[in-house]
Structure 1
Amino acid sequence: MGASAWPLHGIRLRTADLDLRVMTEADLPELWELLPDDVEMNPHATTYAGLDVPANRRAVLAQGYWRALGLWSPDDWALPFVVRRDGEVVGAQWLEGPDWRADHAVDSSSWLVPAARGRGLGKQMRAAVLALAFGPLRAEVAVSSAVLGNAGSLGVSRSLGYLDTHRSVLEHSGETLQHVRLTRAAWARAGGADLAGGTVVDGVAPALPLFGIEGAS
């Protein structure tokens, strides 16, 4: 299915080092091979007694992709990107609008292969989707969260201007989750274009109706 038939697949984000394109089914086998063991999957996803742990993790990844695009609506959407550096897949970045037309707020999550960590790529990935969210999608707020021990994720958030809001406890693990928040106004005051490192956002205009947005970006 081409981008003209399903315009979400025409969205592309480019940073100084990375190329982010909306995930396709053809990307799944490579993502399965690269998915790090320390990436926490959706704890509420279905697991299958007849599959081992790696196979169940592959199932969660695949079903998450199918669910995201298959159940898409302007009120509740999830946009998964495959992240490449020099043509090689290094991770995945998600941007979500779970109550989009009510609050115009986005959430995000991501993972990188171990060899790509500690190089500032996580910040570039997040900044790229923020450029999309606060740019053509006209989001008002971006939120995120991470367990207190995940210094990398929280460091990315704080470096981009997110502020700590509240904490909660994960039911399935008992770990403490730190929630953070960034407003559109704060992003602009901090010089969002500079924080995004000159991110180039392409192919969004044909997809805007799927976000409930009329008119060109």
Structure 2
Amino acid sequence: MSTHPDLSTLYPPLGLVLRAGDLTLRPLSDADMPEYAALLRRPIFADPTGPEVFPWYRAEPDERELDALRFQWRLRSGIGPEEWTLVFGIWAGGRLIGSQDVSAVRFAERRTVSSGSWLTLDAHGNGYGTLMRQAMLTLAFDHLGARRAESCAVVGNAPSFGVSRACGYVENGTQVSALRGSREVEQRFLVTPETFRRPAVPVEVEGLTPALRAMLGA
């Protein structure tokens, strides 16, 4: 029997778990990567040629998988108080259906997070997009002490706009996308603890240890 500590003890982000209704959110681990890679081959957008399609999704499936895995490992290795991104896999009924991220720069000073998310097309229409965003915001506002949460979506992306508004975001100007390979105009959104529309179900947060708080500047 191994006497070594669990990896989540050595690397605290891997021990974080959020539960809300049917959904479980937890940072992607190496053991999840084959399932995550398979997910990237499935349809995410109703119109695969639309302006809202992520530039990385336009790549051929093999390239898309490899780039996504590299990206996940790079983000994981870069988590620290000055800058961090947590990428949560979204499980519904034990099945991986998408991703929700939350990130910050100098969080201890700015108390501001930003986020992005996606679901496979067959998971749309169940309220999961709103609930997973609400779970993330509950973590950010109630447990990390964020005072602002920002998001953006390509102008015309009605489903994303709908999720933002359902969570209490308000429009906050526009910008040209910073994503590599995109020049689309995006609508910015902002939500604060005072305007946040909370989910109808409780959000349970496990694994937010002192060591993880220190890593996040919280």
Q: Mark yes or no: TM-score above 0.5.
A: yes
Report how far residue 88 of structure 1 moved: 0.7
Q: Alpha-carbon deviation of 1:184?
A: 2.3
Amino acid at match of 1:17: D
- 1:117 alignment counterpart: 124
Match among 185, 192, 197 for residue 194 of structure 2: 185
Pairwise CA distance, 1:131: 0.7
Q: TM-score scaled to structure 1, two decimals?
A: 0.85
Q: 2:207 aligns with which of 192, 203, 208?
A: 203
* RMSD of aligned Cα (Å): 1.9
Unaligned runs of 5+ in 1: 44-51
1:22 equivalent in alignment to 2:27: yes
Distance across 1 between alignment mates of 2:145 and 2:169 = 17
> Percentage identity across aligned positions?
34
CA distance in 2 between counterparts of 1:32 and 1:133 reads 27
- Counterpart CA distance in 2 for 1:175 and 1:155 is 19
Q: Secondary structure of 1:185's partner?
A: coil
Task: Answer yes or no: is the 8 Å Cα contact 1:127–1:196 preserved in 2.
Answer: no
Q: Single out whichever of 33-42 and 149-158 deviates more from structure 2.
A: 33-42
- The corresponding residue for 1:11 is 16
TM-score normalised by structure 2 residue count:
0.85
Q: Contact between 1:78 and 1:98, CA under 8 Å: does it hold in 2?
A: no
**Cα distance change of structure 1 residues 40 and 151 upon mapping to structure 2, 3 Å threshold:** same
Greater shift after overlay, 34-43 or 21-30? 34-43
Residues in 2 aligned to 1:65 and 1:183: alpha-carbon distance in whole angstroms: 28
Once the two structures are TM-superposed, the CA of residue 24 in structure 1 deviates from its matched residue by: 0.7
Query: Aligned to 2:137, which of 130, 133, 136?
Result: 130
Report the alpha carbon displacement of residue 186 of structure 1 after superposing the two structures with TM: 2.4
Shift of 1:57: 1.2
Q: Deviations over 1:104-137 (max 9, x none)?
A: 1111111111110111000011001101000111
How many corresponding residue pairs? Answer: 200
The Cα offsets for residues 61-116 of structure 1, whole Å up to 9 and x where unpaired, read as 11221111101111100001111111111111111113323311111111111110
Structure 2 SS opposite 1:3: helix
The answer (yes or no) to whether the contact 2:27–2:88 under 8 Å persists in 1 is yes
Helix, strand or coil for the counterpart of 2:194? helix
Following TM superposition, by how much is the alpha carbon of 1:42 offset from its aligned partner in structure 2, in angstroms? 5.3
Residue type of the alignment partner of 1:40: F
Tell me, in whole angstroms, the C-alpha distance in 2 between the residues paired with 1:71 and 1:170.
23
1:153 is aligned, of 151, 154, 160, to 160
Give the superposition deviation at 1:21.
1.1
Among 94, 99, 107, the residue aligned to 2:106: 99
Secondary structure at 1:56 match in 2 = helix
